[in-house]
C-alpha cells in the first residue's frame, strides 16, 4: 500500500510487475505534481554521475546499497525504452527534451503493466498494526495488507499537498525522526549585511561557494556554480547547494573570482599588483573580472568609485581582496518550505535497513523516497534516490 508521488508510483510499478498485489492511496487530486513542476517543467530525472558523495544524511553509507542496485543507468534505460528523448545539461544532469509529463506518463504506464490499483484522492485516517496485517482506515473504507510503504515525500511546497505524514507514522511506530529543515532553498539577508547588493536582483555570476564545517551535521561543502542575486538575498544553484550545509548563525563564504576559468586558476594579485592598473579607476579594474553592475556596487560599497587604483590604500586593497575572494556573510535565514525543493532530515536511517528500506522495528513497514533522512544535491540526485529506494523496497515486498 502506497502514496502516489515519484517514489510511490515507481515502487508500485516495479512491485506490481514482480507479481505483487499493489494498491496506491494518495490524498492528492492530481498525482505526480512534484514531477510535473520539476526541472523547470522538463524534470531533471537523474544524474549520470549520481553516487553516495551527492547525498546528505547522518549516515553517509546508507545510500550505497540502493544506489548500487539501481544506479542512474537503469533508470535511463527505462526512460529510453519508453521512447522519451532527453539531453544532458550540466554536470551529468539529464532532462526530458519535451516535458516532465512524459515521466509521469511513464510511471503510470509501468503501474498499469504491473496491474497496480491507484485510488485518489483518499484521506488516510489511521494506520494500525493488527497481528501480521496492517489496517489502513481511509475515508473510502478499510484496507488490510501485509505491508505498508510510506512514501509521502518531504515538507517542501505545502501548497501542492506536502505533509509530515510519513514522519508522524514513523514516530507512531517507534522510529526516530531527524528534525526536518528546508534545503535547496534561497537564503535571505538583512539589509545591513546585504548592503547595496539588493539593487542587482536578476544578476547571475559563476562563483565558488563554501558552507558548513567539519563536525557540523552534514560537514562542509564547496561548489563552483552560478549564484543569482535576488531582491530577498541569494539564490541560484550555488546557494541552493550550499543551503543544505549551512546552519543558522553560521556564515557562508563566497569567492566571486573562484570560478574564473584560467589555466592554473585565477590569482587576484594579477589584478592588484599590475602596474598598468595604477592609472585606471577602481570600478574599471573590478569590471575586468566581474559583471559591470557588481563591480560598480563593490566599488560604491567601499567608497572607491572614481578613485584611481594608485590612490587606494594598501589596507583598502586588502579589504577589497578579502571581499572578492572570501566574502564571509551570515544569512538571516532561508525562504522556507514554500521555496525549498527538498527536506533535510526525516526518518532516521539507523532505524531502516538500507537493503530493503524496511523498518528495523516493525515487520512490513517501509519508508522510501524523500521522507527518509537522505537528501540529494541539486542536479537529479533526489529523483535518483526516489528510484533507487523504491526499487530495493519493491524487491523486498
Ligand X SMILES: Cc1cc2nc3c(=O)[nH]c(=O)nc-3n(C[C@H](O)[C@H](O)[C@H](O)COP(=O)(O)OP(=O)(O)OC[C@H]3O[C@@H](n4cnc5c(N)ncnc54)[C@H](O)[C@@H]3O)c2cc1C
Query: What is the contact surface with ligand X in residues (CB under 6 A)?
Result: 3-8, 26-28, 31, 34, 37-39, 43-44, 124, 151-153, 156-157, 161, 163, 165, 341-342, 369-370, 380-383, 386
CB closest to ligand X, residue no? 5
CB of 44 to ligand X, least distance (A): 3
Residues ≥6 apart with Cβ < 8 Å to 207: 224, 225, 226, 227, 238, 254, 255, 256, 258, 259
CB of 280 to ligand X, least distance (A): 44
3-class DSSP assignment, residue 381: helix
Q: Which of 247, 244, 245, 243 is nearest to 234 (CA)?
A: 243
Nearer to ligand X (CB atom), residue 258 or residue 390: 390
CB of 128 to ligand X, least distance (A): 16
CB of 129 to ligand X, least distance (A): 18
CB of 154 to ligand X, least distance (A): 7
Q: Could you give the CA distance from residue 316 to residue 340 in angstroms, rounded to a whole number?
A: 38
Q: Are 179 and 247 in contact (CB under 8 A)?
A: no
Nearer to ligand X (CB atom), residue 118 or residue 312: 118
CB of 397 to ligand X, least distance (A): 16
CB of 38 to ligand X, least distance (A): 3
Nearer to ligand X (CB atom), residue 209 or residue 342: 342
Nearer to ligand X (CB atom), residue 25 or residue 197: 25
Q: Are 157 and 342 in contact (CB under 8 A)?
A: no
Nearer to ligand X (CB atom), residue 317 or residue 381: 381
Q: Which of 216, 250, 222 is nearest to 58 (CA)?
A: 216
CB of 45 to ligand X, least distance (A): 7
Nearer to ligand X (CB atom), residue 6 or residue 203: 6
Q: Could you give the CA distance from residue 360 to residue 338 in angstroms, rounded to a whole number?
A: 33
DSSP 243-263: HTT--TT--EEEETTTT---T
Virtual CA dihedral for 166, 168, 170, 174, nearest 10 degrees?
A: -170
Residues ≥6 apart with Cβ < 8 Å to 246: 187, 211, 212, 252, 331
Nearer to ligand X (CB atom), residue 34 or residue 282: 34
Q: Are 323 and 253 in contact (CB under 8 A)?
A: no
Give the distance from CA 149 to its chain's centroid: 23
Q: Which of 312, 324, 309, 392 is nearest to 354 (CA)?
A: 392
Nearer to ligand X (CB atom), residue 165 or residue 327: 165
Amino acid at each position: 500500500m502506497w502514496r502516489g508521488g515519484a517514489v510511490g508510483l515507481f515502487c508500485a510499478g516495479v512491485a506490481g510487475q514482480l507479481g505483487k498485489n499493489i494498491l496506491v492511496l494518495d490524498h492528492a487530486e492530481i498525482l505526480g505534481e512534484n514531477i510535473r513542476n520539476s526541472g523547470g517543467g522538463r524534470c531533471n530525472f537523474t544524474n549520470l554521475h549520481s553516487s553516495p558523495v551527492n547525498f546528505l544524511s547522518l549516515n553517509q553509507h546508507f545510500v550505497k546499497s540502493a544506489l548500487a542496485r539501481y544506479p542512474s543507468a537503469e533508470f535511463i534505460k527505462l526512460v529510453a525504452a519508453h521512447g522519451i528523448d532527453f539531453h544532458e545539461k550540466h554536470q551529468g544532469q539529464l532532462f526530458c527534451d519535451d516535458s516532465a509529463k512524459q515521466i509521469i506518463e511513464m510511471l503510470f504506464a509501468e503501474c498499469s503493466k504491473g496491474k497496480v490499483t491507484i485510488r485518489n484522492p483518499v484521506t488516510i485516517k489511521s494506520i494500525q498494526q493488527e497481528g501480521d496485517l496492517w489496517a489502513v482506515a481511509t475515508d473510502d473504507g478499510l484496507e488490510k495488507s501485509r505491508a505498508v510503504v510510506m512514501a509521502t515525500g518531504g515538507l517542501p511546497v505545502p501548497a501542492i499537498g506536502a505533509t509530515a505524514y510519513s514522519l508522524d507514522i514513523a514516530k507512531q511506530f517507534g522510529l526516530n525522526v531527524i528534525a526536518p529543515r528546508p534545503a535547496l532553498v534561497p537564503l535571505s539577508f538583512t539589509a545591513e549585511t546585504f548592503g547595496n547588493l539588493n539593487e542587482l536582483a536578476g544578476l547571475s555570476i559563476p562563483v565558488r561557494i563554501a558552507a558548513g564545517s567539519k563536525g557540523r551535521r552534514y560537514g562542509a561543502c564547496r561548489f563552483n556554480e552560478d549564484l543569482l542575486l535576488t531582491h530577498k538575498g541569494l539564490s541560484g544553484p550555488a546557494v541552493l547547494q550550499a543551503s543544505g550545509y549551512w546552519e543558522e548563525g553560521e556564515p557562508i563564504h563566497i569567492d566571486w573570482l573562484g570560478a574564473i576559468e584560467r589555466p592554473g586558476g585565477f590569482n587576484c594579485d594579477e589584478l592588484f599588483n599590475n602596474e598598468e592598473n595604477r592609472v585606471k579607476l577602481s570600478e574599471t579594474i573590478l569590471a575586468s573580472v566581474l559583471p559591470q553592475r557588481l563591480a560598480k556596487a563593490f566599488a560604491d560599497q567601499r567608497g572607491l568609485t572614481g578613485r584611481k587604483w594608485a590612490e587606494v590604500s594598501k589596507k583598502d586593497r586588502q579589504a577589497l581582496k578579502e571581499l572578492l575572494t572570501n566574502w564571509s556573510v551570515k544569512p538571516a535565514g532561508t525562504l522556507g518550505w514554500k521555496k525549498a525543493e527538498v527536506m533535510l532530515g526525516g526518518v532516521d536511517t539507523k532505524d531502516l535497513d538500507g537493503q530493503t528500506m524496511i523498518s528495523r522495528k516493525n515487520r512490513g513497514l517501509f519508508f522510501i523516497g524523500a521522507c527518509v533522512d537522505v537528501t540529494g544535491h541539486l542536479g537529479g540526485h533526489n529523483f535518483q534516490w526516489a528510484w533507487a529506494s523504491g526499487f530495493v523496497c519493491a524487491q523486498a515486498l
